[in-house]
Amino acid sequence: MGISVRVVEYTGQIVTEGGDIGAVIRATSSDAAQYPLLAGVDEYDDTTFNSRQAAMLIAELEQLTAVTDDRNLHEAIAQLITLAKLLVPAPRRPHHRRLVFNGD
């Protein structure tokens, strides 16, 4: 099972893409109370987050980083945090970006 992720402008233009982050989703899918956004990512369809949700997603990812020792998982989490931060409003950055998880 592969889950890729990309940052997309409101116009549909792809800003950037990340690799397979399925390990992150598998690590959080059974704990919706602890990781409500990550546990809600659909493994078989697209799941989209907006900039407000991205801030909460970053907090969930940082929390996961603190409780795992898996180096590969840390790398995938770091990649997701980098992508999610591209949704945070900043000068000269479009405000209508989305983070799209693409399930198989």
Which domains, from first to last, does the chain contain? 3-103 (3.40.1760)
Q: How far apart are CA 15 and CA 97, in angstroms?
A: 9
Please provide the average confidence, as pLDDT, over all residues in the chain: 93
Write down the pLDDT at residue 1: 55
* Residue of 90 and 28 predicted with greater confidence: 28
pTM value is 0.91
Q: How far apart are CA 101 and CA 29, in angstroms?
A: 14
Instruction: Determine contact, residues 25/78, Cβ cutoff 8 Å.
Output: no
How confident is the model over 7-18, as pLDDT tens digits? 999 899 999 999
pLDDT band at 97 (very low <50, low <70, confident <90, very high): very high
